[in-house]
Amino acid sequence: MSNFVGAAIAFLLGAGIATGNYFISRHVLKTNPDKYSLTMVARQFVQVAFIVLVYMLGAYTPWDRLWLLVGGVLGMTLPMIWYTIRLVKLNDSVKRKEEKSDG
């Protein structure tokens, strides 16, 4: 039971990172869509850093590292499925607005 608590905490932290990444990406798509690719690099760095931190700090917690890693990865991945759909729709709407203003 104890490992589930650690996994749940890591899941919530991962979901928080995914949510923060979504809001940053959404802001960039709305304000400066040509810089979106730079956002992807920054997001990837934050996600990898989180996983490394979970692994390194996992030794100092009462929970198994494997459970923490699974919770953290699922926490970042599952919300991003929903967020990716929303970002694609936003990107499509931004491109449509640009096409209308071009002609």
pLDDT digits (tens, 9 = 90+) for 10-69: 999 999 999 999 999 999 988 988 888 888 899 999 999 999 999 999 999 999 999 999
Band the pLDDT of 103: cuts 50, 70, 90.
low
User: Among the residues of 1-103, which ranges form H helices?
Assistant: 2-31, 36-57, 65-102
Residue carrying structure tokens 């890693």: 69
Q: Which amino acid is at 89?
A: K
With contact defined as beta carbons under 8 Å apart, do 91 and 29 qualify?
A: yes
Residue-level pLDDT at 1: 65
Residue carrying structure tokens 């709305």: 30
